[in-house]
Amino acid sequence: MADYDLAPKAEPETKKFWKSKVLWVNGLTLIAGVVGYIAGHDLIANHTAIVAGLVALQGLVNTALRFVTYTKIG
């Protein structure tokens, strides 16, 4: 016979969306992308190494935040 846990599960802890580090980082990245687009394509074309470095940094920050973030947004 299977042994089932019938105890009620605790609700996962949640936080308000504006307290999410992941959303803040991604929001700032979005703003930087829009500003870069508005500033002109020449700015990006003339600084490809910086743009590539920033994209890599964004990936690194998001990966690090994924490992330290446990609370769901509610």
CB 22 within 8 A of CB 66: yes
Domain map (residue ranges) of the chain? 15-69
State residue 66's pLDDT score.
Answer: 86
State residue 11's pLDDT score.
Answer: 67
Q: Which residues lie below 8 Å from residue 41, measured CB to CB, with a gap of 6+?
A: none
- The tens digit of pLDDT for each residue in 9-65 reads 666 688 888 888 888 988 988 898 888 888 777 877 888 898 889 889 999 998 998
What confidence tier does 5 reach under pLDDT thresholds 50, 70, 90?
Answer: low
Q: Which residues lie below 8 Å from residue 28, measured CB to CB, with a gap of 6+?
A: none
In what helix (H) or strand (E) does residue 46 lie, and over which residues does it extend? Answer: helix 41-46
State residue 18's pLDDT score.
Answer: 85
